[in-house]
Structure 1
Amino acid sequence: MIVAAAVCPHPPLLLRELTGAQDVAAPLREACHGALAELTGAAPDRVVVVGGAGATAEHTDAPVPVHAHGGHGDRTAPQEALPLSLGVARRLLDESGCTLPVELRSVAHDAREAEIAALAGGIAGRRERVGLLVMGDGSARRSAKAPGHLDERAFAFDDTVHRALSEGDTGALAGLDPDLATELMVAGRAAWQVMAAAVDLEGVAVRAGVRYSDDPFGVQYLVGVWTCGS
């Protein structure tokens, strides 16, 4: 059973060695660590991580893709490193001192209903207590200097996600338009929908809240926690 879920974004700047002398992502990293503390505070037996990537797959521990995003150190072929979303999750868990077993699953950015349902079905309904860590960014088109430049539709889309995460509204997350999400460069759509589908399958009440919401680089970053059950 899913006992709690934490939602975190995965910008490369959460990898401290990429930020330079000034840690510009410190407040966001602190919020992520706080969400993970709440997640592990629910006493899960295992943490299942779901993050967007090029394809849906299960991953074993592999190098975090620091070099691919401008960091120093040994080069790692892309196929031998974790996808960025899972690499950031792995780093956050390590920094938080998590010693629980960790299961790493990617979901394709363009995944549709059947693929999302299949992944959710493999997470929900387990006998063990599951802590679900969901990695995903909002729109990257919230300012003229954003990676995708400005698209006014980004604000309404991100507001819908913010409200859904604040209220534990699985239906609102399930209803996100995948084509619009692609146009708005939303990296978290499929992962959020896996969480929503898995929680719906469990049929439990959710106590929800958002711990961080900001777009410092023209990309929407949300950190939230859902506690599941009575």
Structure 2
Amino acid sequence: MITRAAVVPHPPLLVPELVAGAAAETEPVRAATLAAAGKLPGPWVVVATDAAGPATFVPPMSGTFLGYGVDVPVSLGGDLPPDARIPLPVLVAAWLRERCATEVSRVELVAPDLPMADCVSFGRRLAAEDCGLLVLGDGSTRHGPRSPGSDDVRSGPFDSSVHTLLSAADADGLLDLDVGLARELGAQGRAAWQVLAGVPGPWRCSGAEFFAPFGVGYHVAVWERP
């Protein structure tokens, strides 16, 4: 049974070598992400949203962040040569695994447009596994003028709501998130959060934080069984 889950973001800025000029500005989200992931028991099953989904990645597997500017090698386990085709969430999962000194059973990528009902079904299938569940997903990409997308005033209320729901371990509330609005705001974490919400509870949140450096929303939370 899954007894603990961590929600974290997966931007390249987590890797200090990729943001040498902004390492200090991005340190709070990096520290919070590592702290949350470090609370998970191993082995991990990782769920993330990515356009490459549905897809499953299992160790041994290695990759590199070279496509994001610096050749930082990472491994899900084993010592195979780096595969340049590995999607970003898998690279970040490997980077976190190395720093938390644990094992990853597999990384499951789900499509950004996965319907809520399918997310719930996926979460229910995961529920019986004896693992720590690491959920990777970013919030809106449209927070203010520094954002990758154009500013959208709906981003603040949207991510504020997500933060409140994660803080309350409110699975039903996460399942009620507006899929269309999440898409418009670039919040691709929606599907991964709803997979978590599909894992039967009860749950309680032992800590949640929100960050928005450079105009993108990043949620960090730890859920555990009471």
TM-score, structure 1 normalization: 0.85
Q: Secondary structure at the match of 2:35?
A: helix
| Deviation at residue 101 of structure 1 after TM alignment | 4.2
Spell out, residue by residue over 1:112-160, the C-alpha distance to the aligned partner (whole angstroms, 9 max, x if none).
134323422331123xx22110001110101012001210111111111
CA distance in 1, matches of 2:160, 2:21: 33
Maintained 8 Å contact 2:116/2:191: no
Spell out structure 1 runs of 4+ moving beyond 6 A. Answer: 73-77
Match of 2:71 in 1: 72
CA distance in 1, matches of 2:27, 2:93: 16
Cα–Cα, structure 1 residues 113 and 212, in superposed 2: closer, same or farther, change >3 Å? closer
Match of 1:89 in 2: 93
Task: Report the AA paired with residue 119 of structure 1.
Answer: F
Spell out, residue by residue over 1:4-54, the C-alpha distance to the aligned partner (whole angstroms, 9 max, x if none).
0001001111122211255242221111121122223xxx5x311001111
Aligned residue pairs: how many? 216
Match of 1:156 in 2: 157
Match of 1:47 in 2: 44
Corresponding position: 1:102 with 2:105: yes
Segments of structure 2 that go 5 or more residues without pairing to the other structure are 74-80
Corresponding position: 1:165 with 2:166: yes
Task: Report the AA paired with residue 154 of structure 2.
Answer: R
Match of 1:19 in 2: 19
Maintained 8 Å contact 1:109/1:189: yes
Corresponding position: 1:59 with 2:63: no
CA distance in 2, matches of 1:121, 1:205: 13
Q: Secondary structure at the match of 2:31?
A: helix
Cα–Cα, structure 1 residues 141 and 117, in superposed 2: closer, same or farther, change >3 Å? same
Segments of structure 1 that go 5 or more residues without pairing to the other structure are none
Task: Report the AA paired with residue 116 of structure 1.
Answer: C
TM-score, structure 2 normalization: 0.87
User: What do you get for the CA RMSD once the two structures are aligned?
Assistant: 2.1
| Deviation at residue 77 of structure 1 after TM alignment | 6.7
2:123 maps to which of 120, 124, 144? 120
Maintained 8 Å contact 2:26/2:213: no
Cα–Cα, structure 1 residues 72 and 65, in superposed 2: closer, same or farther, change >3 Å? closer
Maintained 8 Å contact 2:64/2:72: no
Task: Report the AA paired with residue 71 of structure 2.
Answer: H
| Deviation at residue 60 of structure 1 after TM alignment | 2.0
Q: Secondary structure at the match of 1:63?
A: strand
| Deviation at residue 205 of structure 1 after TM alignment | 2.0
Match of 1:175 in 2: 176
Percent sequence identity over aligned pairs: 36
CA distance in 1, matches of 2:161, 2:39: 24
